């Protein structure tokens, strides 16, 4: 025998269902926030050297290669793909503005790697730079303000995760 509900009971049932749905969505959102907070961030933290402006031809001293913070010029390098190395003092200002540097060291003998890196960088309309960096030990370096990740083998997922974690975060104080 089917049980008939009154109008009031149906309204109460809908309210309970809506409340359960809202609480469930809130619990999922809270769990995602906790996951993001405890999930390790890409790369390694590098102590912040500040954001002092210097003028050309002054040079900065840095605590990582490539640099992740410190003295820098007042101008920015254009976002996108570069075929020449970018001076440390210029690239640090890009990092301060929320940029991510994707740099490689292969003495020009790695057109396939450069093409793979360029394909990733081209996905972004700003705040990412690809450039050679001949003075580093690793083949690939990713830098953002206060973060670095260095490795030797192309890893698209690793590169994209780094870019997505730090691209666009402004570090002016």
66 and 8 within one domain: no
Give how many domains the chain has, as a whole number: 2
Assess whether 7 and 80 both reside in one domain: no
Give the predicted TM-score (pTM) of the model.
0.79
Which residue, 115, 105, 114, is CA-closest to 65? 105
Q: Are residues 58 and 5 in the same domain?
A: no
68 and 4 assigned to the same domain: no
Question: Does residue 18 surpass a pLDDT of 60?
Answer: yes
User: What pLDDT, on a 0 to 100 scale, did the predictor assign at position 6?
Assistant: 83
Question: Is 107's pLDDT higher than 70?
Answer: yes
**What SS3 state is found at 163?**
helix
Q: Please tell me whether residues 7 and 54 are part of one structural domain.
A: no
Is the per-residue pLDDT at 22 higher than 90?
no
Could you tell me what percent of the chain has a pLDDT over 70?
88
What does the CA dihedral 90, 117, 155, 137 come to, rounded to 10 degrees?
-50
* Residue recorded with tokens 């820098």: 72
Mean pLDDT over 55-74 rounds to 97
Domain residue limits at 126: 44-166
Question: Which CATH number covers residue 114?
Answer: 3.40.30
pLDDT, one tens digit per residue, over 79-91 is 999 999 999 999 9
pLDDT in tens, 123-158: 999 999 999 999 999 999 999 999 999 999 999 999
151 within some domain: yes
Residue 25 has pLDDT above 90, yes or no: no
CA distance 146 to 144: 6
Whether residues 48 and 103 share a domain: the answer is yes
Tens of pLDDT, residues 2-14 = 567 787 877 877 7
């Amino acid at each position: 025998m089917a049980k008939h509900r009154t109008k009031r009971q149906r309204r109460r049932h809908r309210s309970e269902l809506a409340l359960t749905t809202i609480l469930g969505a809130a619990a999922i959102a809270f769990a995602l926030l906790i996951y993001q907070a405890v999930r390790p961030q890409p790369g390694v933290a590098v102590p912040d050297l500040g954001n002092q402006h210097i003028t050309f031809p002054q040079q900065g001293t840095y605590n990582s290669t490539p640099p992740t913070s410190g003295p820098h010029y007042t101008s920015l390098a254009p976002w996108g793909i570069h075929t020449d190395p970018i001076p440390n003092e210029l690239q640090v200002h890009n990092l301060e503005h929320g940029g991510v540097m994707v740099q490689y060291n292969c003495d020009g003998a790695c057109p396939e790697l450069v093409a793979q890196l360029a394909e990733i960088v081209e996905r972004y309309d700003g705040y990412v730079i690809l450039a050679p960096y001949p003075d580093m030990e690793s083949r690939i370096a990713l830098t953002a303000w206060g973060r670095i990740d260095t490795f030797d083998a192309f890893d698209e997922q690793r590169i994209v995760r780094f870019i997505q974690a730090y691209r666009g975060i402004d570090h002016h104080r």
